[in-house]
Chain A
Amino acid sequence: MRDPVRPNEQSRGSRRGSPHLRLKVGFLLMAIVLSFFAARLVQLQGFDPHSYAQAAEKENLHTQVLPAQRGRILDRNGEPLADSADGLMITAAPSITAEKAPELATLLATKLDLDYSTVLAALTGRSRGSTALFAYVARKVPAAKATEAVDDARAQGFKGLYLDDDPIREYPAGDVAANIVGFLGTDGPLAGLEKSLNGELAGKDGKTTYEVASQGTRIPLGDSTTVEPVNGTDVRTTIDGELQYYAQRVLRQADEQWDALNGMAVVQDVKTGEILALADDPTFDASNPGASPKADRGARSLSEVYEPGSVEKVLTLSSLIDAGKVTDRTQLVVPGELHRQDRVIHDWFSHGTLHLTLAGVVAQSSNIGTVLAADKFGNGQLRQYLDRFGLGRRTNVGLAGESPGILPSTAQWNHQIQDRVDFGQSVSVNALQMASAVNTVANGGVRIDPSLILGHATTDSGQVVGTDEATSRRVVSEQAATQMMKMMERVPDPRTGVAPQTQIAGYRVAGKTGTAQRAVDGRYDGSLTVSYAGFAPADNPRFTVYVVINDPRAGHAGGGSTAGPVWQKIMSFALRRYGVAPTGAKASDLPTMWGKGVDPHGRP
């Protein structure tokens, strides 16, 4: 209520208050409003500016991933063992495609060689995992084929089909070297070099970002940025695809013939240590790994360890010669059985007392003779040699899952253990380890690291592997290696040795059989691991080949009779393939027996 007494001027003034007060109130209100703006500004710019910027960009920028092409895995001649190709997935929106599904399914099934009912199920949204808006029609279709089929369908007025990148990994050689190459699953590499060298092979995806119009079409001159993909590096292995193929087939044939559980074969270049073939049987088809049991999808030649048996005598006796304790002509008296503290040692054949030379011990693979000779070792001396031969250590060729094998530790080492290790018991190896150890003798006593990669590559665990990284070290003297080679030459000789199956007409070959009991679940169950290791030409070796066959059950299996023929075939193939001529030198004629009235080049 207005006071009537007060003049007009005065009453107006009191209603509005003093100008100063009004100004103050006005400024305060403005400050409050502005401080809200400021707070919002700080919130937007200060706390989380990126997410807002991204949200704004997302409105009209479209990003597409440019997949990097995965590096190839090649054999030593550049033939691909694993190759990458552009592939596409064809997807459908069933809500659109369902209407004309039968006609579209007929078209796609014909064009893409697919099963009609599967395609029909996808187009009508009845396939597994599909929704009304999304269903896979076909995955990993070669780009040319997929584009053609979808273009055709679109030309005929069908709608609701889409294409998207879906790179294809091809294994043109199927099961050849699959144990080494491994394979890719849908989400990533699952085995072999594909897994261990994934960092090298994978490359880095690029992306392209461009402005799109409201309908989603690309604006031709709009903003666009492209980060080119970095393709993966090719990895070149030391594997010779054809030799590998041959080794795998011959090995499988023998495994089937002998009803064996599995088999392994290694071909190594003597001088460089390069692995030319590393065969496993049974193996799997890298293009279709699901068809094989999981246990067959790796490399047993690296992951499985076993007792090498008599092949180990090559290491024992060459060490013994190197230590200056014996020579290839040392004469031994070998009794029918040898009583030791904890056990009785036998030979594979029963005999009375024999007069064998060391060469005869090798040729006839006498356990007793080997143990008697090895008694001359100083305490733990053999263990040091075996360690230098590479036993008990991973070869680290670049594949994951390798087992280091078991070499009894210095603390465990005693006379009883040495007696058994002498002829290949109480020590476990993987096939590649053993092949490289025997290769040391072939290479004049110098062990060279085996390699699976030409050049070098870095594994995902950070290890640099390959021929560039291979080191060598002398294990036994050249003289000891030569004497060992000459003794091993007596093994294939039908007059003196136990493995005439391994002769190659015209060539000097040196080898050693192995027949070991398999330790299954910590005990010997009576089954055998038979093997044969050797090199040729003996006096100037090019290749070391090692064949192992596990648990052969058909017939009378043995190192010479079972693994020997496989070794002979693979070695012959390698010599022929690489054009290695015989040296023409005369084979060794070391005496194998001694004493009155015995043939020095005979057999008991």
Chain B
Amino acid sequence: MSNTAAAAAAVRSVRRIASWTDPAALQRARLTVVPRTRRTAPRLPFIALITTLLLGGVIGLLMFNTSMQQAAFVENRLRVQADNLAARQQALESDLQRLNDPETIAVKAQAHGMVMPGSPAVLNIATGKIAGVPMPATPANNVQLWATHRRPTAR
């Protein structure tokens, strides 16, 4: 209520001021609404942009996914290959170990007519001196390669 009273007082004071001055000025003092400008932006580029972004995203994601899948398949294939190669390496190494076994070497050496040396002796290459008493090895120096019979565990 006090508001309307204040407003009425304000109108009255404006009219009082206007009555003292030019009525044209009074007319100008009346405010009017600015007319709204209606500018329509072209819609097509925006739709195209959004469509491109969406499509690009989806296609990119699909391609990325596909390539990851491909990589996973390749990884799997390579892993299998690595496993196979590791297994082959192991097989070859165990063959090598078998060939390196002292027993295998002893059997082959004896088959070639080789015998174990008997008496140890050391040749000093620098002085040409022999320490120890070298003696020719005889078949008696050879080790017996195989057990001839099974022995009892107790008696």
Size range of the chain A interface in the assembly: 35 or more
Q: A147-B84, A221-B68, A576-B120 are in contact. Are A507 and B132 (CB under 8 A)?
A: yes
A465, B9: Cα distance in complex, Å:
110
In this complex, what residue of A is CB-closest to B118? A572
Residues in A with CB closer than 8 Å to B103 are: 173-174, 176, 245
A253, B103: Cα distance in complex, Å:
15
Q: Which residue in A176, A252, A575 is a CB contact (below 8 Å) of B144? A: A252
A582, B94: Cα distance in complex, Å:
39
A221 contacts B65, C-beta separation under 8 Å: yes
Residues in B with CB closer than 8 Å to A262 are: 151
Q: A142-B90, A143-B83 are in contact. Are A504 and B120 (CB under 8 A)?
A: yes
Q: Counting CB contacts under 8 A, is B98 at the interface? A: yes
B101 contacts A572, C-beta separation under 8 Å: no
Query: How many residues belonging to B are interface residues under a CB distance threshold of 8 Å?
Result: 46
A79, B72: Cα distance in complex, Å:
39
Q: Counting CB contacts under 8 A, is B133 at the interface? A: yes
What's the nearest-Cβ distance from chain B to residue A216, in Å? 15
| A 245-266 contacts with B by CB, 8 A | 245-246, 249-250, 252-253, 255-256, 260-262
A260, B150: Cα distance in complex, Å:
12
Q: Counting CB contacts under 8 A, is A506 at the interface? A: yes
| A 61-95 contacts with B by CB, 8 A | 79-80, 83, 85-86
A246 contacts B143, C-beta separation under 8 Å: yes
What's the nearest-Cβ distance from chain B to residue A588, in Å? 19
Residues in B with CB closer than 8 Å to A405 are: none
B91 contacts A142, C-beta separation under 8 Å: yes
A220 contacts B69, C-beta separation under 8 Å: yes
A241, B97: Cα distance in complex, Å:
12
A581 contacts B147, C-beta separation under 8 Å: no
What's the nearest-Cβ distance from chain A to residue B12, in Å? 58
Q: Counting CB contacts under 8 A, is B87 at the interface? A: yes
> Which of B120, B132, B154 has the largest number of chain A CB atoms within 10 A?
B120
Q: Counting CB contacts under 8 A, is B36 at the interface? A: no
Residues in A with CB closer than 8 Å to B72 are: 220-221
What's the nearest-Cβ distance from chain A to residue B83, in Å? 7
Residues in B with CB closer than 8 Å to A256 are: 144, 147-149, 151
Residues in B with CB closer than 8 Å to A260 are: 151
A261, B151: Cα distance in complex, Å:
7
Q: Counting CB contacts under 8 A, is B119 at the interface? A: yes
A249 contacts B97, C-beta separation under 8 Å: no
Q: Which residue in B69, B88, B131, B144 is a CB contact (below 8 Å) of A506? A: B131
A282 contacts B143, C-beta separation under 8 Å: no
Q: Counting CB contacts under 8 A, is B45 at the interface? A: no
A142, B86: Cα distance in complex, Å:
11
A220, B73: Cα distance in complex, Å:
7
A144 contacts B144, C-beta separation under 8 Å: no
A147, B106: Cα distance in complex, Å:
34
Residues in B with CB closer than 8 Å to A296 are: 153
A293 contacts B153, C-beta separation under 8 Å: yes
| B 124-155 contacts with A by CB, 8 A | 124, 131-133, 135, 143-145, 147-155
A79, B105: Cα distance in complex, Å:
15
In this complex, what residue of B is CB-closest to A243? B102
Residues in A with CB closer than 8 Å to B116 are: 573
A249, B151: Cα distance in complex, Å:
15
Q: Counting CB contacts under 8 A, is B121 at the interface? A: yes
Q: A142-B87, A147-B84 are in contact. Are A505 and B133 (CB under 8 A)?
A: yes
In this complex, what residue of A is CB-closest to B123? A581
B107-118 vs A, Cβ < 8 Å mask (1 yes, 0 no): 000000000111
Residues in B with CB closer than 8 Å to A79 are: 97, 100
Apart from A172-B100, A582-B131, what 16 extra A-B contacts exist at CB < 8 Å?
A: A142-B87, A142-B90, A142-B94, A143-B84, A147-B87, A172-B94, A173-B102, A220-B73, A253-B143, A256-B151, A282-B151, A295-B154, A505-B135, A572-B119, A573-B120, A584-B131
Tell me the A residues contacting B by CB distance below 8 Å. 79-80, 83, 85-86, 142-145, 147, 170, 172-174, 176, 220-221, 241-242, 245-246, 249-250, 252-253, 255-256, 260-262, 282, 293, 295-296, 504-507, 551, 572-573, 575-576, 579-582, 584
Q: Which 10 A-B pairs have the closest CB atoms?
A: A143-B87, A220-B72, A172-B97, A505-B133, A576-B120, A144-B87, A506-B132, A295-B153, A581-B122, A245-B102
Tell me the B residues contacting A by CB distance below 8 Å. 65, 68-69, 72-73, 76, 83-84, 86-88, 90-91, 93-94, 97-98, 100-103, 106, 116-122, 124, 131-133, 135, 143-145, 147-155
Question: 12 A-B contacts, Cβ less than 8 Å apart?
Answer: A142-B94, A170-B94, A172-B97, A245-B102, A249-B106, A249-B143, A249-B145, A261-B151, A261-B155, A293-B153, A296-B153, A506-B131
